[in-house]
Amino acid sequence: MKYGTFEDLEIYKSAREFRKKIYSLAKQLPEFEKYNLANQMRRAAVSLTNGIAEGHGRFHYQENIQFLRQSRGSLEELIDDINVCIDENYADLRWLNNLKKEGYELLKKLNGYIKYLRSCKQMAINNHLSKST
């Protein structure tokens, strides 16, 4: 299936929804966390979706995969930030646990997309090799 823009990608749609929830959580943090944890969470959440978008704009599979790896790192950072919120009782525990679970589900999707792109890359290499022999 061909995609017109990064906004058509299911992984982007899922990451965007997760980012919105992270922003909501950041708004709930205590005032003294405004420039620390909240700011860090917002930057990582934006990095998550930015990496998917920027990778989509690259012409080579490996470049796309590299940006997705960066997104994956940002997502794992956000899961740890959720752990900080759990440890410090910054929000409803059930909501935070559900958000963390959603983060891990998104991680599986992101890893699946990376795996898909790796297989596409390998197929392109194999096609090129078979044409050149």
For residue 2, what pLDDT is reported? 58
pLDDT in tens, 119-131: 998 888 787 677 7
- In the DSSP assignment, the letter for residue 57 is T
Domain 6-132 architecture: Up-down Bundle (1.20)
pLDDT in tens, 60-118: 999 999 999 999 999 999 999 999 999 999 999 999 999 999 999 999 999 999 999 99
Q: Domain segments of the chain: what residues?
A: 6-132
For residue 59, what pLDDT is reported? 80
Q: Which of these ranges, 19-23, 31-35, 95-99, has the smallest mean pLDDT? A: 31-35
For residue 33, what pLDDT is reported? 95
